[in-house]
């Protein structure tokens, strides 16, 4: 049986420009509004299809180099097309952010939006990398999502997945074990709490400020959410089912999302934090003293 359109979409993570309007796109200007001065180099970690890099190049004529690090070859190809008009000002590298290679330059601005949960439990590696790649006075602007977690560590998208799997015949109470059996960590488990993140980043970075917003997702149709799920999560969850049931799974996620919206007025609702971080040794306390290094 040949794969359905939505399965092909999930494999290639296609349609993200459209899908990300539901949630992730709001991070872009939120983050770039925090950039001060005239940065020359900006690095975006998990740069996806290059939307943040493009906005940055348009907003900051001072940028001589906008660099994207990204794992998905499909996304890099889409970003390369989007950024082609910017010539040598835009550079894309294939990279795994859990084992990032060193770059030969430092950046005034490093950004990372809607990515950190995918790096769990190795986030400390990217924090160390960032600390080593920030230019003096540079800022790391990071967004993190914080869905509420239940006793099984499920929350946010996991809840829609649980609804969808139970609609397809898996009892809701068996879903945590089904995910675990396929090595699928619930997204709400991947997403550490603010306090947990503070502990992980503390050896490398200091918090210079933060802001919060509520990400409220609403949809116009079940199909819209079905495509949002495929473009955002790919086959991360779908792989718990045999290939012939995956098209039904994506449809069931869309139906679950619409049902939730009818019941609650929205599909999902979660706090997002924007962190403004500096390298640890760059930090100057309110008294003007540099803390001694631990
Ligand atoms: C939800 S998308 C966010 C994309 C973009 N930053 C945005 O805000 O729209 C997550 C991105 O992180 C990338 N990603 C996930 N794990 C990664 C890893 N280990 N190394 C590099 N990129 C990764 C994915 O391929 C995807 O493009």
Phi, psi values for residue 267, rounded to 5° = -80, -45
Three-state secondary-structure class, residue 178: helix
pLDDT at residue 285 above 50?
A: no
Phi, psi values for residue 285, rounded to 5° = -70, 170
Q: Ligand 1 in contact with 24 (CB < 6 A)? A: yes
Q: What is the pLDDT of residue 1?
A: 67
Q: What is the pLDDT of residue 18?
A: 67
Q: How confident is the model at residue 247 (pLDDT cuts 50, 70, 90)?
A: very high
Q: Could you give the percent of the chain with pLDDT greater than 90?
A: 83
Nearest CA to ligand 1 atom 26: 48
Q: Is residue 27 within 8 Å of 48, Cβ to Cβ?
A: no
252-262 mean pLDDT: 96
**Nearest Cα to Cα of residue 12 among 67, 51, 49:** 49
Q: What is the pLDDT of residue 36?
A: 94
Q: How confident is the model at residue 283 (pLDDT cuts 50, 70, 90)?
A: very low
Q: What is the pLDDT of residue 47?
A: 98
The first and second tokens of residue 241, run together, are: 């089912």
Give CA separation, 4 vs 132, 211, 243, 247, in Å: 44, 41, 10, 6
Q: Ligand 1 in contact with 190 (CB < 6 A)? A: no
Q: How confident is the model at residue 288 (pLDDT cuts 50, 70, 90)?
A: very low
CA of 71 to the centre of ligand 1 (A): 7
Three-state secondary-structure class, residue 278: strand
**Nearest Cα to Cα of residue 4 among 255, 256, 246:** 246
Better-predicted residue by pLDDT, 53 or 286: 53
Q: Ligand 1 in contact with 232 (CB < 6 A)? A: yes
The DSSP code for 240 is G
pLDDT at residue 15 above 90?
A: no
Q: Considering only 9-13, 134-138, 171-175, which range has the smallest mean pLDDT? A: 9-13
50-62 mean pLDDT: 97
The DSSP code for 282 is G
CA of 45 to the centre of ligand 1 (A): 7
**Nearest Cα to Cα of residue 109 among 67, 69, 145:** 67
d(CA 290, CA 47): 33
Ligand 1 atom closest to Cα of 44?
6
Q: Ligand 1 in contact with 143 (CB < 6 A)? A: no
95-109 mean pLDDT: 96
Give CA separation, 111 vs 157, 193, 209, 252, in Å: 24, 20, 15, 34
145-173 mean pLDDT: 96
Per the prediction, the chain carries an average pLDDT of: 92
Q: How confident is the model at residue 60 (pLDDT cuts 50, 70, 90)?
A: very high
The first and second tokens of residue 190, run together, are: 């991947």
Q: Is residue 254 within 8 Å of 226, Cβ to Cβ?
A: yes
Q: Which residues is 209 bridged to in the sheet?
A: 276
Q: How confident is the model at residue 292 (pLDDT cuts 50, 70, 90)?
A: very low
Q: Ligand 1 in contact with 70 (CB < 6 A)? A: yes
Q: What is the pLDDT of residue 25?
A: 75
Q: Is 140 exposed, middle or buried (0-12, 13-18, 19+ CB in 10 A)?
A: buried
Ligand 1 atom closest to Cα of 111?
6
CA of 115 to the centre of ligand 1 (A): 5
pLDDT at residue 19 above 80?
A: no
Q: Ligand 1 in contact with 72 (CB < 6 A)? A: yes
Q: Considering only 84-98, 167-181, 271-285, which range has the smallest mean pLDDT? A: 271-285
108-120 mean pLDDT: 97
CA of 263 to the centre of ligand 1 (A): 31
pLDDT at residue 294 above 60?
A: no
Domain ranges in the chain with CATH number 3.40.50.150: 34-146+191-216+269-282
Phi, psi values for residue 43, rounded to 5° = -120, 130
**Matching CATH number, 34-146+191-216+269-282, of 3.40.50.1370, 3.40.50.150, 3.20.20.70, 3.40.50.720:** 3.40.50.150
CA of 101 to the centre of ligand 1 (A): 16
Half-sphere exposure of 32 (CA within 13 A, CB side): 20
CA of 175 to the centre of ligand 1 (A): 26
Total number of residues shown for the chain: 294
Better-predicted residue by pLDDT, 2 or 48: 48
């Amino acid at each position: 049986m040949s794969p359905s359109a939505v399965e092909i979409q999930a494999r290639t993570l296609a349609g993200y420009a459209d899908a990300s309007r539901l949630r992730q796109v709001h991070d872009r200007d939120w983050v770039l509004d925090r950039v001060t001065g005239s940065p020359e180099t900006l690095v975006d970690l998990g740069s996806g299809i290059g939307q943040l890099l493009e906005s940055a190049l348009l907003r900051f004529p001072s940028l001589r180099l906008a660099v994207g690090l990204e794992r998905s070859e499909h996304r890099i190809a889409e970003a390369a097309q989007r950024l082609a008009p910017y010539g040598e000002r835009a550079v894309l590298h294939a990279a795994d952010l859990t084992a990032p290679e060193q770059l030969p330059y430092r950046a005034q601005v490093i950004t990372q939006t809607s990515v950190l949960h995918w790096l769990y439990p190795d986030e400390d590696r990217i924090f160390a990398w960032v600390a080593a790649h920030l230019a003096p006075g540079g800022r790391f602007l990071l967004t993190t999502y914080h869905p509420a977690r239940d006793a099984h560590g499920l929350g946010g998208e996991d809840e829609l997945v649980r609804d969808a799997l139970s609609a397809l015949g898996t009892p809701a109470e068996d879903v945590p074990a089904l995910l675990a059996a396929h090595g699928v960590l619930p997204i709400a488990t991947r997403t550490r709490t603010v306090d947990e993140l503070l502990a992980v980043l503390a050896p490398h970075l200091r918090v210079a400020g933060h802001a919060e917003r509520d990400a409220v997702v609403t949809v116009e149709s079940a199909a819209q959410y079905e495509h949002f799920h495929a473009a955002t999560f790919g086959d991360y969850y779908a792989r718990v089912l045999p290939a012939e049931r995956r098209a039904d799974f994506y449809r069931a996620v869309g139906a679950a999302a619409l049902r939730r919206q009818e019941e609650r007025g929205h599909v999902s609702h979660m706090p997002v934090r924007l962190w403004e971080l500096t390298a640890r040794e760059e930090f100057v306390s309110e008294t003007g003293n540099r803390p001694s290094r631990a």
